[in-house]
Structure 1
């Protein structure tokens, strides 16, 4: 298991959601540039609101951090008012794109099929899509977690080629743990990650090396235990990514965590 894990890329990515102002962004990004040796073992990135891509590129382009967007359109161009094409984000040096976040699914009615198309569009633009999956509290309490998460990832498996799938990152974010302060236990998180890895490997053995992240109230005090699980390769971080001290502590936890 240790050898298998060594093949996988470890990531910690901050999702700023709809937060940020120019002065605050600069202070936060400059602080994150102090990550230093952590970036030798863990890839660190931030996904910022689209209006701040130019600022992010200007501050990070000479450093070790990656940056990206929180969503991309399922279309390359056209009469889609308010949409941001993956190719547009790429022009600002973005290399990451979150797709299928539960807030997009819930508030904007995104289906798993649309999420799969967005992942494909991101790949075509040279971005790494971070495909989010996760269940609600009701779904977990009724024992539907695997059915729900399985259907969400299956839509992506059915749309993308094996070659495309090898380039994605998957983030398991239980909806009931996002922004609530309630995180899944390490066992709960590991069980779903192991399920997802098996689902990917069933499509093609090589997909067992796809990076899997956990998101949902990750904090400095629970990060190392979560990241120490055999199938968890890092985190997609919400609120804690807006505090440089907390975010860097989480990055350090990813760097030092050892698989149990």
Structure 2
């Protein structure tokens, strides 16, 4: 963490109408301004991933000078054309996305996305000028069998296979153990996730000029455990779900991240 920017972001998943999205943005922007942080808390890079229907509206509300990076929750790996119900990388970039979430466990489980599919999407995202935010993580039975490191390592290796060494610094890897995410996820102990985070960071090495993917943690993150998770030496930030769906929760997490970032400076 020392000397690195702390990333804190949230995916809204399949929530928020346009009106609800506008209200969230208005409150967050007002909160940053009221705290004399018209940019962002020092040392923190915030980001938000609305549903596709709200992407362009949120872009317009934030404006070009906003400190919040905007992202999409998914995009197709192929060229535009046939693909009813899908959106291309170019389309989400045109709607304002600067990063795109790929490989979430729900996409893998419910839509049959494989490591090979994720790798294709990573390459397509980079080619479109987007930052891929790749989700990796083991389900409960794999963790129970003690095979979590090998499982996640295979996901990371597949995702990074199409990435050139000089591009590694543009990739974000979000370790989200499946047993810890969602409404019924189990809150992890920091010691449970630290070895996997360390392996993800190790596997991300090998970029040119020392560049490596950023490593985020996600899964039952809230204001009660955010600081401890951010103090892990392999962690560059947090990818948060429902604890940041209310704007006050998101602002609280940004404040915690700013405190950790300040303490980490030389």
Give distance in 1, aligned partners of 2:175 and 2:32: 25
**TM-score when scaled to structure 2?**
0.90
1:1-260 residue pairs with structure 2 within 5 A? 5-6=2-3, 8-33=4-29, 34-36=31-33, 37=37, 38-61=40-63, 62-179=65-182, 180-201=184-205, 203-204=206-207, 206=209, 209-257=212-260, 258=263
**RMSD across aligned C-alpha pairs, in angstroms?**
1.7
Q: Structure 1 residues 149 and 111 mapped into 2: Cα distance closer, same or farther (>3 Å)? A: same
Following superposition, the deviation at residue 207 of structure 1 comes to: 5.5
Following superposition, the deviation at residue 126 of structure 1 comes to: 1.3
Could you tell me which runs of 5 or more consecutive residues in structure 1 were left unpaired when the two chains were aligned. Answer: none
**TM-score when scaled to structure 1?**
0.92
How many residue pairs match? The answer is 254
Following superposition, the deviation at residue 10 of structure 1 comes to: 1.9
Following superposition, the deviation at residue 60 of structure 1 comes to: 0.7
Following superposition, the deviation at residue 63 of structure 1 comes to: 2.2
Q: Contact (CA 8 Å) 1:174, 1:184: kept in 2 or not? A: no
Higher helix content, 1 or 2: 1
Q: Contact (CA 8 Å) 1:134, 1:173: kept in 2 or not? A: yes
